[in-house]
Amino acid sequence: MKKNNNIVWVVLGFSLLWVTSVDAGDARRRISSLAEDYANLSDVEAEIRFGRDLSARILGNYPLLKDEKKSRYVGLIGTGLSQHAGRPELTFHFGILETAEINAFATPGGYVFITTGALELMENEAQLAAVLGHEMAHVVKRHVVKKLNIKGEQGTATGGLAGMIGGATGSFREAFEQSMKEAEEILFHKGYEIEEEIEADQFGILLASAAGYSPEALRDFLIKCKRFESGKPQTDSEHPPHEVRIQKMNETLQAEGLLNGNNAKIRNRFNDYLQK
């Protein structure tokens, strides 16, 4: 795996989202009910440090796009969403991966990536916000953190990752490396469990809506992606097929009263910044 020592993150103030919505208040209240109260600072530090190392491995597989205009735009959209995400103890970071692969990734601690292939398939800013929101949901709900038992205190084979990172003993380094490999397997091969992916879809819909975007954007983008889905069963993956996710998203939209709304999609600004 290649090393990338030139990691440049886009961390910008909330200044780009000029959209409003009559549904935003309801969506924010629902997000508050879904977000978890997580204030153990030692555990948060371990989560951030683990996620930072994992993000470096992502950048060992995919180069970071060196385009300030596009990166700034994606960073602004993501930072705006983070204001409603329910993890105020984290600073979210956003980057664009230069690959035709249609994908997006997020690591613990708030490191979020989207590929140029995914951006090229998108039609508007609402779809971008929805996909970023879906990935941020994996961070907010701590899916990888829980699965790998990432904690700040020592005590278990996979706990005490803050110590593993800087630990002097071989056992700590071994445990840290094993946890890192398991996280890479989730991101690059196995995928999240069905319940986790559907939970992230639900949260992403509400997060986009809370920021004033069309809540149907994530479903619409996934419908576009569906034609790229292989018809062969993925026996080594827990990732649910697009058809299942689309059906569950329709159920969420119906249950939350978010179908056929008039929230913003914002196509022109999206095209201007991404030069479509």
Query: Are 65 and 71 within 8 A, CB to CB?
Result: yes
Strands of 78-236 (E only): list them.
Answer: 93-97, 104-107, 111-115
Is 60 a residue whose pLDDT tops 90? yes
Instruction: For residue 185, give both structure tokens.
Output: 């397997």
> 68: domain range?
24-269
Q: What is the pTM of this model?
A: 0.81
Question: What is the tens place of the pLDDT at every residue in 175-210?
Answer: 888 999 999 999 999 999 999 999 999 999 999 999
Closest to 82 (Cα-Cα) out of 31, 151, 33: 31
Is 2 a residue whose pLDDT tops 50? no
Question: What is the tens place of the pLDDT at every residue in 93-117?
Answer: 999 999 999 999 999 999 999 999 9
Mean pLDDT of 211-216: 93
Mean pLDDT of 216-230: 83
Please indicate, yes or no, if residue 14 is contained in any of the structural domains. no
Instruction: For residue 186, give both structure tokens.
Output: 């989730």
Please indicate, yes or no, if residue 66 is contained in any of the structural domains. yes
Cross-strand partners of 96:
114
Mean pLDDT of 166-176: 67
Closest to 203 (Cα-Cα) out of 150, 129, 104: 129
Mean pLDDT of 208-215: 92
How many domains in the chain?
1
Residue 9 CA to residue 11 CA, distance in Å, equals 6
Please indicate, yes or no, if residue 188 is contained in any of the structural domains. yes
Residue 34 CA to residue 140 CA, distance in Å, equals 9
Please indicate, yes or no, if residue 37 is contained in any of the structural domains. yes
Mean pLDDT of 243-269: 88
Sheet of strand 104-107, all strands in order from the earlier edge strand to the far edge: 93-97, 111-115, 104-107
pLDDT of 37 reads 52
Q: How far is CA 240 from the centre of its chain?
A: 17
Question: What is the tens place of the pLDDT at every residue in 141-159?
Answer: 999 999 999 987 654 444 4
Cross-strand partners of 112:
94, 106
The number of beta carbons lying within 10 Å of the beta carbon of residue 232 is: 6
Residue 96 CA to residue 113 CA, distance in Å, equals 6
Please indicate, yes or no, if residue 15 is contained in any of the structural domains. no
Residue 169 CA to residue 160 CA, distance in Å, equals 13
Q: Which residue has the higher pLDDT, 72 or 42?
A: 72
Is 221 a residue whose pLDDT tops 80? yes
Split at pLDDT 50, 70, 90, the class of 42 is confident
Split at pLDDT 50, 70, 90, the class of 233 is very low
Please indicate, yes or no, if residue 5 is contained in any of the structural domains. no
Residue 221 CA to residue 224 CA, distance in Å, equals 5
Mean pLDDT of 203-222: 93
Mean pLDDT of 200-229: 89
pLDDT of 242 reads 82
Query: Going by C-beta distance under 8 Å and a sequence separation of 6 or more, which residues neighbour residue 74?
Result: 10, 94, 95, 96, 114, 119, 128, 132
Please indicate, yes or no, if residue 3 is contained in any of the structural domains. no
Instruction: State what percent of residues in the chain have pLDDT above 70.
Output: 73
Tokens 């709900």 correspond to 141
Is 211 a residue whose pLDDT tops 60? yes
- At 133, which helix (H) or strand (E)? helix 125-140
Is 69 a residue whose pLDDT tops 60? yes
Please indicate, yes or no, if residue 88 is contained in any of the structural domains. yes
Query: Are 129 and 79 within 8 A, CB to CB?
Result: no
Mean pLDDT of 30-43: 62
